[in-house]
Amino acid sequence: MLTDLTVIWALLLALSVFIYVVLDGFDLGIGILYPLFPKKKDRDLLMNAVAPVWDGNETWLVLGGGGLMAAFPLAYAVLLPALYPPIIIMLLALVFRGVAFEFRWRASSAFTRRAWDASFFWGSLLAALMQGITLGALLQGIRVEGRAYAGGWWDWLTPFTLLTGVAVACGYALLGTCYLNWKIEGDIQTRVRHLARRLGVATMAFIVAVSLATPFLAGEYYLRWFTWPSMLVAAPVPILLGLIALGFARSLFAQGRDWLPFLLALAMFALCFLGLGLSIWPNVIPPSITIWDAASPHSSQVFMLWGAGIMLPIILGYTAYAYYVFRGKLDPEEGYH
């Protein structure tokens, strides 16, 4: 029974992290795009595109972190010491970015508004980079001895983690352009579509680079992706990713279905997330700690599952309702502040 609950909790946390990535991903991506739109009117429009939903998107990050601590306490105790620098930078960046959302609209001068604009951009970029670096550090493996982190302060900083950091930031920027294409119209939408085409090519290049590098990080990864018969399970992922990428490229030239590029970009992220899961399963901390090694006691998992069963539908419901209320194209002459 513990095994079944452990798998359920692993899937719930994976779902929470994925929802956070896709929801806050386009949110951070819009911040990363900020310097490319220097006019105040354009920046107001970009910020208004996410103003009603950005804070709700952060809920899933809290849920993922809190769920990891409660359901897999050993993993939490090992990951935090290994990743303190990028996690602290990410959280500080999210704080400055969140403050900029509110204070930019109350800026009394052009200088203070530019300062908050810079805070919004750098907060978005650093948060995205640190999330990608954290992913890379997890993939490359964390040294553990005696159920404790045994590595150094800078183990998280390697060429591979820098690659994954830039890749995630580029992917978030792509999500941002696709969401803006869905929400805005006119000349700025045309500019966003051009950006989406370039970022789509760059994101696919990064996906290929990370995918080629990952199997050589550990022998287990290589065996799962390039040996028979396990490759039968993994092979559909890159094939589907390639097909969706082609559909995504075509959708950016089609008219009348502005939601389609965003949907296909989310599908690409979902396949990348699935590929990550196929690589590390059943480890929660590669290469040595499985989800069963890190799981909390059975009674704790049962108690938390009742809470999750009540709260998750509520969170999903109000998130869906918020997006429903603020559906449709934005009016450049109106805002939420």
For the record, the structure tokens of 270 come out as 């979902």
Of 295, 240, 251, nearest in space to 273 by CA: 240
Q: Which helix (H) or strand (E) holds 251?
A: helix 236-251
Contact 170, 202 (CB under 8 A): yes
pLDDT given at position 127: 93
pLDDT given at position 92: 93
What single DSSP character describes residue 34? G
Query: Residues 6 or more apart from 333 whose CB is under 8 A from it?
Result: none
Q: Show pLDDT as tens, one digit a residue, over the chain (337 residues).
A: 445 788 888 888 888 888 888 888 888 999 999 889 888 888 888 888 887 777 777 777 887 888 888 888 888 888 888 898 999 999 999 888 888 877 877 777 777 888 888 888 999 999 999 999 999 998 888 888 888 888 788 888 899 999 999 999 999 999 999 999 888 888 888 899 999 999 999 999 999 999 888 888 777 777 777 777 777 777 888 899 899 999 998 988 877 788 899 999 999 999 998 888 888 888 888 878 888 888 888 888 888 888 888 888 888 888 888 888 877 777 666 655 5
Q: Which amino acid is at 159?
A: P
pLDDT given at position 337: 52
For 280, the 3-state DSSP assignment is helix
Map out the domains of the chain as residue ranges. Answer: 5-326
Q: Which helix (H) or strand (E) holds 144?
A: strand 144-145
Q: What is the DSSP string of 199-215?
A: HHHHHHHHHHHHHHHGG
pLDDT given at position 326: 78
CA–CA distance, 312 with 25 (Å, rounded to integer): 20
Of 150, 163, 155, 174, nearest in space to 25 by CA: 174
pLDDT given at position 225: 78
Q: Identify any residues that bridge with 285 across adjacent strands, giving them in sequence order.
A: 289
pLDDT given at position 150: 82
List Cα–Cα distances, 6 to 197, 250, 284, 310, 312, in angstroms: 41, 41, 11, 18, 17
